[in-house]
Amino acid sequence: MTVGQKPRAARAERRMMWRGLMFVAPAALLLVAIYIVPMVVLAGFSVTDYQLGALSSRFVGLENFIKAYHDPVFMRSLKNTAIYAAIVIPFGVFLALGVALLVYNRKRSRGFWEVAYFLPVTATLVAMATVWQFLLHPSLGPVNAAIKWFGFEPVAFLSNPVLLIPTMALIGVWQIVGFNMVLFLAGLTAIPKDLHEAARLDGARNPIDRFFTVTWPMLGPTTMFVVVTTSISAFKVFETVAVLTKGRFGSETLLFDLYLEGFEYANTGYAAALTLIFLVIVLVLSIGQTVHMDRKVHY
């Protein structure tokens, strides 16, 4: 390259860089406006005692976070959310995997079962929660009618504090299994059939042996994605609590507690602090699961 060509090449490179920046700018500005700015505002509110509609506020530092640690409602909501997630995550993942394995081997009826299991995903959870409220009603619901038919006493699924969170967790599993099933079906379809034939020739004639030697390792990336997304969905439970119990009987969850503090009680500063705690919990959980599972994934 001659001396005169170098400045021209540098100018062309700068023009390409500016063009690239111009193409990136709209998406970057949108990202800043939707995510970065609200996070900064949220962090600012979290260190004040601002209440919705107030004309002034006072800087309180970490007082809101200390208050959350001593708040029995928040600690109860944290415990309830943890119990809910502990039920939804394993059942939502492994039950969806089992359903996907059964549906994948169907020939004529595969389309029917895919639609049947995916219908809860398409339905509005608020409407479905209302249906579940009727199904589990202690005197009018068909579930308790069947229990009484077998000679047992009716069960207060939605008012017994011991059964309330597990009941809502089962509804959450019912709602998420269809979506996870579709993801696992996509992962199963991507597995080359030659691997199963090779495993069969190597002595893995039992379908269970082929599952653990071929299918399960090859589903590693799909499983990791399903586990992370299911965990996030489990910690974001809100509609079920809002419709079925409205937080009664000690059934508050993290998002419902945030809703109460921010919109019912207008404690915007305290709600902002709780929101940051919630985001940190979800972020740490997601990163921890990804790092831990990524070591065992075969890409």
Nearest to 226 by CA among 187, 278, 193: 187
Amino acid type, 239: E
Alpha-carbon gap, residue 118 to 177, rounded angstroms = 8
171 versus 193: the higher-pLDDT residue is 171
Whether 2 has a pLDDT exceeding 60, the answer reads no
Alpha-carbon gap, residue 2 to 191, rounded angstroms = 53
Least confident of 24-28, 183-187, 202-206: 202-206
How confident is the model at residue 299, as a pLDDT? 53
Enumerate long-range contacts of 64-67, CB under 8 Å, 24 or more apart.
64/269, 64/270, 64/272, 64/273, 64/274, 65/273, 65/277, 67/270, 67/273
Region 281-297: mean pLDDT is 79
Whether 18 has a pLDDT exceeding 60, the answer reads yes
**Domains annotated on the chain, with CATH:** 70-294 (1.10.3720.10)
Least confident of 50-64, 194-208, 226-240: 194-208
pLDDT band at 90 (very low <50, low <70, confident <90, very high): very high
Whether 135 has a pLDDT exceeding 90, the answer reads no
Token code pair at residue 37 = 């700015």
How confident is the model at residue 91, as a pLDDT? 93
Region 60-64: mean pLDDT is 85
Region 13-18: mean pLDDT is 80
Region 88-103: mean pLDDT is 90
Whether 3 has a pLDDT exceeding 90, the answer reads no
DSSP code, position 154: P
Please state, rounded to an integer, the average pLDDT across all residues of the chain. 83
Alpha-carbon gap, residue 244 to 116, rounded angstroms = 24
pTM: 0.84
Radius of gyration of the chain (CA): 26
